[in-house]
Chain A
Amino acid sequence: MPLINIESIHKTFGKLEVLKGVSLDIAAGEIVVIIGRSGSGKSTLLRCINGLEKVESGKVVVDGTEVSAAKADLRALRQKIGIVFQSFNLFPHLTIEKNVTLAPRVVKKVSPDEAKKAAITALERVQIANKSGAYPSQLSGGQQQRVAIARSLAMSPKIMLFDEITSALDPELVGEVLKVLENLASEGMTMVLVTHEMGFARKVANRVVFMHEGKVWEQGAPETLFKSPKTPELAGFINSVL
């Protein structure tokens, strides 16, 4: 039984069909990178995994819970699935430490002491423990993004979703965030990443999924996929990004 099981899901926004029957299984501990052109439905697919978007048909099952069910307990599910966005979305009115401790305290009802300890551990994992008293606006983009990762990690998720988390960063700040992702990967976290960092995909991914026009167009191990694309669409895409 895969940890994430996606079965022919469809999703439309108004008249626009964004996901046209996507199926994908992801095993525990797997690192899957999703690539594809802008508008191909990568973010939407990611957001369907933790129920931020509702699917019209098909099925999404995560860790035995059917996300797509009408009565799914999304709040319980989301405690198991962390997601990090391109735009950080830290809480600007809270210090770094409070950003990280908020959800464990109010959602998981962890004691303040325990939450603080977990926050320190999480912030150490993203190598930013010395900023706990600062506010998000006082941090660089790379630092903010690492805090956003720590905020998710503090909930001890089983799965982490990352949506182009380095795309909004200055080039010199990308490395520090990718480094954190590599560490997470080496710790055995199940990860699904949308990224344009092809070098990173090659190095870290177990599997690369190429999305095109709302479908999983091609997938496979990074080496084979990048070296010998089977479809002209993937070949064209690889050419355009390399």
Chain B
Amino acid sequence: MLREFGIDDILLLLTGAKWTVLLSLIAFTGGGLLGLMVAIGRVFGPGPLKFLIECYIRAIQGTPLLGQLFLFYFGFSIFGFDVSAWVAISVAMVFFSSAFLGDSWRGCIEAIPKTQWEAADALGMSFVQKLCYVVLPQAARIAIPSTVGFMAQIVKNTSLAAVVGFVDLLRMGQLVTAATFQPLTVYLVVAFMYFAMCYPLSQWSRILERRYNATHQH
């Protein structure tokens, strides 16, 4: 039974979009926190830790996100944990994001010249003080463009979650299409909704970059 595409369908799509946003937020906050630890451990940790983190990053970056989703989704149940698609996907997305952000932030931390550490050293600052007041704030500014760019990637990548039955925006688009058989209209609306989520991110990144450049004309 086909129905006309109408306001109800838009509301359905918005429900899907809500889950997309939520999943993206989880992936980004969880991935960001874990990613910060990954970056710091990778730069300052003892040798074996650095090696382990390097393996972690390589493993995650060297396999497709889709594969990781399946791994977590089915992996949990094999080990007897009965978790929802929701949890499995969240965990997979957090790991995926942490590897990407950790690796990119590592580069930003290492880009801060040794002389900055030395200047802070000479003033008697502790390691944590040097990190928090001198190095990380500068690294954060360098990290802005790639980080915000990655946030937009995450939003789009959440659509992979549909394959394990998670009803995000794209999956909801498929369901609505099946009910209305108006793929063009539906997917245009879906595309617009993705755009509405990602565009502000890229604008925000541009604003931050400009503000940063205004005080740093080296």
Q: Spell out A's residues near B (CB within 8 Å).
A: 50, 52, 74-79, 81-83, 85, 87, 89-93, 102-103, 106-107, 135, 137-138, 151-152, 155
Contact = CB atoms under 8 A, between A and B. Distances in A.
Interface of B: 115-116, 118-126, 129, 133-134, 137-138, 141, 215-218
B213 to A, nearest CB: 10
Contacts of B116: 89, 91
12 contacts: A75-B126, A82-B122, A85-B118, A92-B138, A92-B218, A102-B133, A106-B129, A107-B125, A135-B216, A137-B216, A151-B123, A155-B123
Contact of A52 (B121, B125, B218): B121
A89 B121 contact: no
B115 A83 contact: no
Interface centre among A75, A79, A90 (most CB of B within 10 A): A75
Given A106-B133, A107-B129, A137-B215, A52 B122 contact: yes
A137 B123 contact: no
Contacts, number: 66
A85 B119 contact: yes
A78 B115 contact: no
A60 B121 CA distance: 18
Contacts of B115: 85, 87, 89
A89 B119 CA distance: 6
Contacts of A137: 215-218
Given A50-B122, A75-B126, 6 more contacts: A77-B124, A92-B216, A93-B138, A93-B216, A151-B123, A152-B123
Main secondary structure of the interface of B (DSSP, over half): helix
Contacts of B124: 74-79, 103, 107, 155
Contacts of B123: 78-79, 102-103, 107, 151-152, 155
A107 B215 CA distance: 26
Nearest to B140: A93
A135 B119 CA distance: 17
Contacts of B125: 75, 103, 106-107
Nearest to B122: A83
Given A92-B216, A137-B216, A151-B123, A52 B118 contact: yes
Contacts of B215: 93, 135, 137-138
A79 B134 CA distance: 17
A6 to B, nearest CB: 18
Nearest to A82: B122
B137 to A, nearest CB: 5
Nearest to B121: A52
A106 B131 CA distance: 12
Contacts of B217: 137-138
A137 B215 CA distance: 7
A52 B121 CA distance: 8
A76 B141 CA distance: 31
Contacts of A93: 137-138, 141, 215-216
Nearest to A77: B124
Contacts of B216: 92-93, 135, 137
A92 B120 CA distance: 13
B37 to A, nearest CB: 23
A91 B119 contact: yes
Contacts of A81: 122
A81 to B, nearest CB: 8
Contacts of A82: 122
Leading 10 A-B pairs by shortest Cβ distance = A103-B123, A89-B119, A78-B124, A79-B124, A75-B124, A83-B122, A135-B215, A89-B115, A107-B124, A93-B137
